Amino acid sequence: MDVGFSFGEPISVADVLRGLLAGGLRTPPDDEVSYLIDEDGMFEWRSAAASDVDDVISRLADKRWEDRVVGMTLLLPGGPHGGDLLFHPGRTSVSFVIAVHPRLLPGSSCFCDLGWYLARLVPLLEPLGLSEVEALDTT
């Protein structure tokens, strides 16, 4: 399950992450920040102390990673639900991979409540030049 967001112009990793955190998203409550800098195509996630979140954001935003995938695990407001926010090379597309306690549609045992995620993410990303949203949920 994931949601893809496209932008007309390259976006700033730091601006997006800081905007999402200011808009109510948060790191998981285990006193750690999970993040990814895909240096070698192996998608090895790392962790840092939650108190180092600003340093992690600065590392992710470093220009030397512009041609690499970088990301951070975030929880959305209103529950324990969240996922991995991945910034793709070129920084005109971002994916939110719903991987942390997926919120399912009421009465459904397998389909994600994509509308719930979109209602929380789109208003925060739209001011940054959001031009397209694509959602995918398969069983």
Q: Give me the residue spans of the domains in the chain.
A: 2-136
pLDDT of residue 59: 96
Are 70 and 35 a contacting pair, CB within 8 Å?
A: yes
pLDDT of residue 14: 97
Tokens 């840092």 sit at which residue? 48
Are 17 and 72 a contacting pair, CB within 8 Å?
A: yes
pLDDT of residue 109: 75
pLDDT of residue 139: 64
Are 19 and 130 a contacting pair, CB within 8 Å?
A: no
pLDDT of residue 42: 83
Q: Taking the model in full, what pTM does it have?
A: 0.94
Ranges of the chain whose pLDDT falls below 50: none
Cα gap 118→38, rounded to integer Å: 26
3-class DSSP state of 70: strand
pLDDT of residue 39: 87
